[in-house]
Amino acid sequence: MSQASSQAWAFYREVAATRAVWTVQDEGGFPAPPTSSGKRAQPFWSSRSRVERIIKTVPAYAGFEPYEVSWVDFCDKWAPGLAKDGLLVGVNWSGKRAVGYDLEPERLVQCVQAVIDNPQ
């Protein structure tokens, strides 16, 4: 299993357990940097500690603050809005450049919901 896929699986399990996701925000709003595929992705993490680690260790995120979104709000508001804007979801980005697995918002909702419906 690649690092990105293991981060994605951890994301699904942790969000299923806590029913919350985390992103970052600054005075300019929420970032959605371009990915290696050329599409833009808004990063989300499965815990406050994960997002705080990125803010602390990745210079590009130094001015940001953690922002919590309930799973219900993510499903009802954020995922449809991200899809409408043509954005992917970055899942538990990590490392020196805060990169990882990106997927369509609807697919993310399906993956987490599958873990909620079928806990291991």
Q: Note the pTM of the prediction, 2 decimals.
A: 0.93
Query: Tell me: the pLDDT tens digits for 100-109?
Result: 899 999 999 9
Local structure of 23: helix, strand or coil: strand
Beta bridge partners of 69: 21
Query: Tell me: the pLDDT tens digits for 29-84?
Result: 999 999 888 899 999 999 999 999 999 999 999 999 999 999 999 999 999 999 99
Query: How far is it, in rounded angstroms, from Cα 120 to Cα 110?
Result: 16
Q: Amino acid identity of 31?
A: P
Task: Give the DSSP letter of residue 61.
Answer: G
